Amino acid sequence: MIPDASGWRSSALYLHVDRLAASDIAWEWLRRNEAYDHDFDVYSLKKEDPQLLTDRIRQQWGLRFPA
């Protein structure tokens, strides 16, 4: 997935950041990380148990998934 970065200099596009929690900002960073995107694609293509995918992503990237 290649994000559209054409408007990255527009401050209007980032006004919402002031209202984000730390976990929201972390997700905004992570979802733009090519290595995370690659790992997620590799793990999810294996058609394994979804819990195993969750465990692998958690271990690799230090994520926590509530509930």
Q: What digits encode the pLDDT tens for the residues 19-63? A: 988 888 888 888 888 998 888 888 878 877 888 888 888 888 887
pTM of the entire structure?
A: 0.56
Are 45 and 51 in contact, with CB atoms under 8 Å apart? no
Distances, alpha carbon 17 to alpha carbons 9, 21, 24, 34, in Å: 14, 9, 9, 21
Q: What is the model's pLDDT at position 1?
A: 64
